[in-house]
Amino acid sequence: MKQIHSLQTNTRDEMIDVTDVVRKAVKEAGCSEGHVDLFCMHTTAGLTINENADPDVKRDMLRRFDEVYPWAMKADRHMEGNTAAHMKASTVGSSEMVLVQNGQLVLGTWQGIYFCEFDGPRTRKLMIRVKKDV
């Protein structure tokens, strides 16, 4: 089963927990064993699996990304001015794969799935493909 989920982001940089969206897709697909492929359909956003217990982790990650990839760099030539967003998205990556076992996502105790916005606010698309084991 494949679906495209629409997300509305609210700020230039944010990490949106989409774990429940993915869980819902697994449930709707009736998948008990298999995996989920997730794909971010954008060049200035990405996906990551990271801690979902302490919100300071998200804040720290976004702050550190800004330190490594500052928004305004005079040497950048990309006319849209969002080279930092492209760098962040390339660092995070555009896809994730999560196993499904006994109808549940196989994630560690503190793990969640995040859609990472680096050039918002925008309407974004997340492709979710649930693949059942035969």
Q: Round to whole Å and give the CA distance between 104 and 26.
A: 8
What is the rounded average pLDDT of the residues 67-91?
84
Domains of the chain: 2-132 (2.60.120.460)
CA dihedral 53, 58, 60, 62 (to 10 degrees): 170
pLDDT at residue number 79: 61
Q: What is the mean pLDDT of residues 23-47?
A: 97
Burial letters 36-70, b for 16+ CB under 10 A, else e: bebbbebebbbbbbbbbeeeebbeebbeebeeebe
Token digits for 129? 């493909």
Confidence label for 51 from pLDDT (cuts 50, 70 and 90): very high
Query: What is the pTM (predicted TM-score) of this model?
Result: 0.93
Residue 27: strand, helix, or coil: helix
Asked whether residue 102 carries a pLDDT value surpassing 80, the answer given is yes
Segment 109-132, tens digit of pLDDT: 999 999 999 999 999 999 999 999
Answer yes or no: is pLDDT of 62 > 70: yes
